[in-house]
Homo-oligomer: A and B are copies of this chain.
Amino acid sequence: MSEISTLGEFGLIDRLTENLPKLNESTLRGVGDDAAVMHYESKNDVLVTTDLLLENVHFDLTYVPLKHLGYKSAVVNFSDIYAMNGCPRQITVSLGISRRFTIEHIEELYAGIRLACEAYGVDLVGGDTSASNQGLVISITCLGEAQRDKIVYRDGARPTDLICVSGNLGAAYMGLQLLEREKVASAGRKDFVPDFSGKEYLIERQLKPEARRDIIEELASAGIKPTSMMDVSDGLSSELIHICKQSDTGCRVYEDRIPIDYQTAVMAEELNMNLVTAALNGGEDYELLFTVPLTDKEKIDNLKDVRLIGYVTDKAEGCAMVTRDGNEIPLKAQGWNPLKEENQE
């Protein structure tokens, strides 16, 4: 294992950014100058989003492999661009690296970032690398592009619109619970082998989420432009409230329509947790939540891996979930919010 100080900042950057491919026409110059240079088609708008990930707040290296962490750090940014109905094109990666990380560690992290970039056709064009005395810090910014009349915001939902969600919810959260359980069980035991059998899907959803490019492509093929859209990072409940607040509407979603994977249900049972609460508030699903006009119902029914879960109402109706027995429970934004948690200094 090699100490980073043997390379220094510029040596490390040279090593990490060796032979970077150029996957996009819009990328003119990448790493190596005061700024990267891009050119976008004049008919397109430019999108920018950014995510900050801090060790022991957003990730725990006890059970998160660095390559997976790199992959996920990039993908969560791509997800934000897809959530605008856009296409991610470039990222910049800033790292704060504490002394316990070796060159090989950072190469692992970068291997994951590069893999995500390759999978989604995104160029790594710049960043900043520095020492940290505070564990690992990852800040990624993603640029994307979209035709102006295709961009979907959060504020366009209208009463009677249908509410749809891709994939299933709560699995990433259950994966996290499982990893935390095995971490506790393994404490102090060197020979410990975690037991994930039959729950591989949950682990994968937590450690290696994918952004739903496929759904964006499906929507385009089907000629559907959502009236509003966002990705589910903080939990369905919190995101529905965002859309309704910004669109000045209310909503009803049906408990029995919320898509939940079999493994998620088994795990909730095992942990004695409320399944629907986990699916509503778990977060980190990176599924797409969107609304479409009622007239698109038939088109939506034909999409694979998209579920219709409710409808948009007047603002006065508020935001609520209709339970299996027909009661209404107001939605609360009790999503994952580290600024309200205990894991602080």
Chain A residues in contact with chain B, CB under 8 A? 4-5, 7-10, 12, 28-29, 32-40, 42, 45-52, 54-58, 80-81, 83-84, 86, 90, 92, 94-100, 125-135, 137, 139, 141-144, 148, 151, 153-155, 229-231, 246, 333, 337-341, 343-345
Q: What are 25 A-B interface contacts by the 8 Å CB criterion?
A: A4-B339, A5-B340, A32-B246, A33-B84, A33-B153, A34-B83, A35-B81, A35-B142, A37-B47, A38-B48, A40-B46, A46-B46, A48-B90, A48-B141, A52-B137, A54-B134, A57-B96, A92-B141, A96-B137, A98-B344, A131-B338, A131-B344, A132-B134, A133-B344, A134-B134
Q: Which of B7, B58, B151 contacts A130 (CB 8 A)?
A: B58
Given contacts A126-B48, A131-B344, A133-B344, contact A339 B97 (CB under 8 A): yes
Question: Are A34 and B154 in contact, CB atoms less than 8 angstroms apart?
Answer: yes
Give the residue among A80, A132, A142, A153 with the most B Cβ atoms within 10 A.
A132
Residue contact A135 to B345, C-beta cutoff 8 Å? yes
> Of B37, B50, B96, B143, which is within 8 A of A54 by CB?
B96
- Given contact pairs A32-B246, A39-B148, enumerate 17 new A-B contacts (beta carbons under 8 Å): A8-B340, A9-B339, A28-B45, A35-B47, A35-B48, A35-B83, A38-B46, A38-B48, A48-B143, A51-B94, A52-B96, A54-B130, A57-B96, A57-B133, A96-B137, A133-B344, A141-B141
| Residues in chain B near residue A10, CB distance under 8 A | 333, 337
**CB pair A35 B128 closer than 8 Å:** no
Contact status B99-A344, CB under 8 Å: yes
Instruction: Contact check, B148 vs A339: say whether CB atoms are below 8 A apart.
Output: no
A3 to chain B, nearest CB (A): 10
Quickly give the copy total for this chain: 2
* Nearest CB of chain B from residue A249's CB, rounded to whole Å: 16
A126 touches B54 (CB 8 A): no
Considering the complex, give the chain B residue whose CB is closest to the CB of A42: B42
Q: Is the CB of A50 within 8 A of B92?
A: yes
Chain B residues lying within 8 Å of A83, measured Cβ to Cβ, are: 34-35
Instruction: Note all chain B residues with C-beta closer than 8 A to A133.
Output: 54, 56-57, 343-345
Min CB distance A138 to B, Å, is 9
Nearest-CB distance from A290 to chain B (Å)?
A: 11
A45–B39 contact, CB under 8 A? Answer: yes
Interface pair A5/B54, CB less than 8 Å apart:
no
What separation, in Å, do the CA atoms of A34 and B231 have in the docked complex? 8
Give Cα distance in the complex from A12 to B338, angstroms: 12
Task: Tell which of B97, B128, B230 touches A51, judged by Cβ atoms closer than 8 Å.
Answer: B128
Q: Which B residues are in CB contact (< 8 Å) with A8?
A: 337, 339-340
Write out the residue numbers on chain B whose beta carbons fall within 8 Å of the beta carbon of A12: 339
Bound Cα distance A337, B4 (Å): 12
